[in-house]
């Protein structure tokens, strides 16, 4: 990679992230992402050109242990308290990635980062989610009930099940994705994790067991049952 082009890119990113109101109309984080994306797509020689774009996405997902189907703007936004925080994160991760492209191929940077992410030991809340997910895909009440927080309409989680052949496929998709904790503390017993299929989900430790707040899944099941046409 042309080191001059890399340095120019890093300087541009720093200017835009630090003084975003000078470069985009509303000064929002997503406008900054769009500005930088446009720059990268128009430039034939910058760290995000060509394969660098997908590699950077993999780098961000791996660095923060997010499901790989997330786009880097969404990852950084979910991790941040506000747009200023998100822009600061963007500046840091883009600068880090860009510096590495001076000596490493973008796809190799992404591969190494993803490999390191998978070697990380997941916490108890993430493991509890994975147990719940497998049970949910099979509609097993005896396994689901102990893994969820009390909810008056919990029965809908096991009243309708996926076909036998679908459950293992859903497991495969879910377990091929990274997970991490967005907020909270295991010590305090309240954590929000980022899941592959349902986005942010809260878990609480109750009587020593991590339990899933299944509200959004229940609401989704209810909406599907209501919208499904009668036969």
pLDDT tens-digit readout, 61-82:
999 999 998 999 999 999 999 9
- Confidence class for position 231, pLDDT limits 50, 70, 90: very low
Number of structural domains in the chain: 2
Q: Rounded distance, CA 32 to CA 26, Å?
A: 9
Task: Quote the crossing angle between the two packed helices 83-100 and 3-18, to the nearest 10°.
Answer: 170
pLDDT value at residue 150:
96
Whole-structure pTM value = 0.87
61 and 30 share one domain: yes
Q: Of 99, 119, 139, which one is at a domain's C-terminal end?
A: 119
Instruction: Tell me which H or E stretch contains 180.
Output: strand 180-185
Residue with tokens 């995000």: 48
19 and 82 share one domain: yes
Average pLDDT value for the chain: 92
Q: Of 119, 152, 181, which one is at a domain's C-terminal end?
A: 119
Q: Which of 34-48, 92-106, 143-157 has the lowest mean pLDDT?
A: 34-48
| Phi/psi of residue 186, nearest 5 degrees | -65, -35
20 and 114 share one domain: yes
Rounded (5°) CA angle 1-84-34: 50
Q: Of 104, 119, 134, which one is at a domain's C-terminal end?
A: 119
115 and 160 share one domain: no
DSSP-based three-state secondary structure for 122: coil
- Six-digit token pair at 188? 């305090």
pLDDT surpassing 50 at residue 230: no
153 and 166 share one domain: yes
106 and 65 share one domain: yes
133 and 114 share one domain: no
72 and 173 share one domain: no
Burial 68-95 (b: 16+ CB within 10 A, else e): eebebbbbbbbbbeebeebbebbbebbb
Phi-psi region of 189 (alpha: psi -120 to 50; beta: other; left: phi over 0): left
Q: Rounded distance, CA 158 to CA 143, Å?
A: 10
pLDDT value at residue 227:
55
Q: Which of 3-12, 13-22, 115-124, 217-226 has the lowest mean pLDDT?
A: 217-226
108 and 86 share one domain: yes
pLDDT surpassing 60 at residue 228: no
Q: Which domain holds residue 47?
A: 3-119
Spacing of C-alpha 127 from chain mean position: 16
179 and 155 share one domain: yes
Residue 87: strand pairing partners? none
- Confidence class for position 15, pLDDT limits 50, 70, 90: very high
- Six-digit token pair at 193? 């994790």
Spacing of C-alpha 150 from chain mean position: 26
18 and 105 share one domain: yes
pLDDT mean over 217-224:
90
44 and 107 share one domain: yes
């Amino acid at each position: 990679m042309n080191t001059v082009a890399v340095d120019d890119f890093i300087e541009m990113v720093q200017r835009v992230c630090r003084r975003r109101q000078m470069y985009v109309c509303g000064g929002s984080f997503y406008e900054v992402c769009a500005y930088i994306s446009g720059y990268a797509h128009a430039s034939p020689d910058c760290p995000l050109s060509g394969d660098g774009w997908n590699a950077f996405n993999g780098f961000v997902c791996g660095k923060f242990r997010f499901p790989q189907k997330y786009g880097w703007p969404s990852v950084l936004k979910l991790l941040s308290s506000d747009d200023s925080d998100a822009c600061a994160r963007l500046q840091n991760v883009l600068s880090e990635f860009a510096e590495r492209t001076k000596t490493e191929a973008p796809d190799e940077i992404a591969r190494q980062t993803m490999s390191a992410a998978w070697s990380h030991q997941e916490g108890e809340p993430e493991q509890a989610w994975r147990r719940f997910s497998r049970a949910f895909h099979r509609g097993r009440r005896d396994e689901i009930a102990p893994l969820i927080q009390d909810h008056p309409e919990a029965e809908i989680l096991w009243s309708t099940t996926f076909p036998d052949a679908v459950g293992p496929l859903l497991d495969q998709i879910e377990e091929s994705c990274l997970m991490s904790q967005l907020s909270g503390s295991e010590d305090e017993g309240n954590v929000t994790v980022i899941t592959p299929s349902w986005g942010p989900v809260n878990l609480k430790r109750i009587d020593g067991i991590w339990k899933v707040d299944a509200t959004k899944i229940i609401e989704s099941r209810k909406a599907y049952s209501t919208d499904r046409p009668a036969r």
